[in-house]
Amino acid sequence: MSWFSRLCISRNDMKNNISTELFALAHKAKSIAITTHIHSDGDGMVAAFALQEILRIKGFASTIITDGEDLSRYSFLMDKAVHQPFAEGMQYELLMVLDCNSRDRLGPRAALVDAAEMLFVLDHHVPEHGVISADLQLIDPHYVSAGAMIFRLFERDIMGFEPSARKFISEAVYVTILNDTNNFSNANTRAEVFQLCACLARQGAQPHLLHQAFLQNQSPQEMLYVGHSLASIRLHLEDRVLFLHSDLALAKDLNYDPASAMSVSRYVQGVANLSALAYFQEVQQEVWKISLRSLKLNVQEIAASHGGGGHRKASGLTLKGNLQEVQDIILKELSQAIKKL
């Protein structure tokens, strides 16, 4: 059974044509916003570019609401993007939340949820704490990315667009897959992922060029940031757990914005014989964005217990404190999880 068929069956309280329902909501709205989770990435943000283009072609103007982060990494997909940083008092009649089902993971932008008259949520993560109650809600963890969900959901519409629009949307969706499969190296790289990528390539997406644009465009400052972070590697629990970190002092020394970095954890996922790894990135003074990765443990449970979330083998959370304090918390959680193996 296809992803899209299973999705429609699982949402048996809704009409079969979900895209029609969403366009009906858009027709009612005088203003539309699209947003994603805090610490946006190449799935949530790039999926927003794809959805915004679909809406534009269907006659609906929208604005992508960000946290003011550096989006230059996605410049090759942003010629038509309409976006602005969140500000207190913002209000849109229809809010579309992508790659996130929990208001807790929206940060200050949760205020947009409270202010909206209509809500649409689309996500491929396991439902967590603070699940957003929406007028239209599609949550299916089987999908490889939020971008993939958007393509399958609107596929009939997309195939009727002009070739240039089909190409752009396909490029954006391909990038979301690159991001969430870690360049096709994660366990979510299944047969249907390659089938979808073949479809995207037939619409004009060129994998080698998108790989270069998204994964091979690091600045010298970013590579120095990565290198210093790798030098911080420490092993724990009889070498079964790997920790590494990047603090604000490093970013300041390099005159580098840590919010613009790709996850450093991707550089150490090939270390042999690990039960888990954790990357600690200081994003504000004593505020740490933590990425957890494991092929053996359910790190989603650990992340969710601290207000974060994600997938069973790859999740994230945020903790406050000095480095030693937050590492002690995570080490204790990982130690308990390993004992249960």
* pLDDT, position 173: 98
Give start and end residues of each alpha helix (H) in the chain: 3-10, 18-28, 44-57, 110-115, 146-153, 155-158, 163-180, 191-202, 207-215, 220-230, 248-254, 299-304, 323-339
pLDDT digits (tens, 9 = 90+) for 291-322: 999 999 999 999 999 988 888 989 999 999 99
202-252 tens-digit pLDDT: 999 999 999 999 999 888 999 999 999 999 999 999 999 999 999 999 999
CA distance 17 to 159: 16
64 and 209 in a single domain? The answer is yes
The per-residue pLDDT for 155 is 94
Has residue 16 got a pLDDT over 70? no
Q: In what order do the strands lie in the sheet with 136-139?
A: 83-85, 63-66, 32-36, 94-98, 118-123, 136-139
The pLDDT-based confidence of 258 (bands split at 50, 70, 90) is confident
Q: Are strands 94-98 and 118-123 parallel, antiparallel or unpaired?
A: parallel
Q: 316 and 202: one domain?
A: no
8-state DSSP, 17 = -
pLDDT at 281: 96
Residues 65 and 22 in one domain: yes
- Asked if residue 240 and residue 109 are part of one domain, the reply reads no
188 and 163 in a single domain? The answer is yes
Tens of pLDDT along 143-163?
999 999 999 999 999 999 999
Residues 225 and 211 in one domain: no
Using 50, 70 and 90 to split pLDDT, how confident is the model at 34?
Answer: very high
Specify the number of domains making up the chain: 2
Residue 285 and residue 211 share a domain = no
Phi/psi at 292 (nearest 5 deg)? -110, 135
Task: Give the residue-averaged pLDDT of 180-191.
Answer: 92
Are 295 and 208 in the same domain?
no
Give the domain extent around 306.
220-339
Tokens of 103: 């208001």
Residue of 43, 38, 86 whose CA lies nearest to 63: 86
For residue 63, the number of C-alpha atoms closer than 13 Å in the C-beta half-sphere is 14
Q: Mean per-residue pLDDT for 57-74?
A: 96
pTM: 0.86
- pLDDT tens digits, residue range 190-207? 999 999 999 999 999 999
Q: What DSSP string describes 99-142?
A: S--BGGGGGGGHHHHHH-SEEEEEE-SPP-TTBPP-SEEEE-TT
**What percent of the chain clears pLDDT 70, i.e. is strictly above it?**
95
pLDDT tier, 128 (very low <50, low <70, confident <90, very high otherwise)? confident
Based on the domain organization, do 180 and 252 belong to the same domain?
no
DSSP category for residue 187? T
The CATH number of whichever domain residue 93 belongs to comes to 3.90.1640.10
Reported residue count of the chain is 341
With CA atoms as reference, report the closest residue to 213 among 167, 186, 178, 185: 178
pLDDT at 195: 97
Q: 234-236 and 241-246 as β-strands: parallel, antiparallel, unpaired?
A: antiparallel
